[in-house]
Structure 1
Amino acid sequence: MKLKLLLVVLGSLLASACVTNNNLYQWGNYEEALFVYYHEPEVKEEILIDYLEFIETAQQKPKPVAPGLFAEAGTFLLEQGKRAEAIKFYQLEHDTWPESQLFMAALIRNLQTQQGQ
């Protein structure tokens, strides 16, 4: 009897661990955009424009932009050599998600130091 109860509890825990709540944050078409960005270089610029538009419009809605999306946009911009714009998005990530503040602050500081050289 105890073994059955233990198996039921473990099964329930395992099943609930697999459930996600995609309704907490705005993701837009992040997965598709990321796939295209890395696998189809000829449309990178168009994907980046769409991605940045999503982030700009999503900030005006009640649900927050998902964690990491501001930083991802900053990284895309940094890859294009747009350091000042990248810093802006890293700062948004820093200000929006306290969990990332330490990392984002160090990244911003390093980029600003490089920019000053």
Structure 2
Amino acid sequence: MKLTMLAVFVLTIFVSGCATTEKPMYDYGTYSESFYAMKKDAGAETVGEWKMALENIINESNQEALRVPPGVYANLGYIHLKANNTEKAISYFEQEQQTYPESEIFMSNLIKKSNLQGNDKL
């Protein structure tokens, strides 16, 4: 009898431990694959694919009511900064800062440097 009860108890714990109904906090989608492709073969095409992957992550996160993963807004902002689209870059840096307050110091520094870069064009 004790052995049967122990077996049922262990089986119950095992089955309940495997079942989860919680939604993930966030989903990185194809972030890793597209980032690796860009680093492996840097060029306008792979940067464009990485940019599209980041935009897809943001769109899918919004559709699924998930938090946009850490660094996605910042990476997208960096792509825009490299393309001399300072306003859009700052917008994404600010979104990263709002979503992840712990990034405030780093994002604030990027925003300041981006503003300086944008003012150099004037």
| TM-score normalised by structure 1 residue count | 0.69
Aligned residues: 95
CA distance in 1, matches of 2:97, 2:46: 29
Say yes or no: does 1:100 pair with 2:103: yes
- Unmatched runs of 5 consecutive residues or more in structure 1: 1-22
- Unmatched runs of 5 consecutive residues or more in structure 2: 1-23
CA distance in 1, matches of 2:75, 2:34: 11
Q: RMSD of the alignment, in Å?
A: 1.8
By how many angstroms is 1:83 displaced?
1.9
SS where residue 115 of structure 1 aligns?
helix
Q: Is the 8 A contact 2:34 2:49 kept in 1?
A: no
1:110–1:80 Cα change, 3 Å: same
Counterpart for residue 114 of structure 1:
117
CA distance in 1, matches of 2:110, 2:46: 27
Segments of 4+ moved more than 6 angstroms = none
Q: Using the aligned pairs only, state the percent identity.
A: 27
Larger Rg over CA atoms: 2
SS where residue 27 of structure 1 aligns?
coil
CA distance in 2, matches of 1:84, 1:69: 17
Counterpart for residue 36 of structure 1:
37
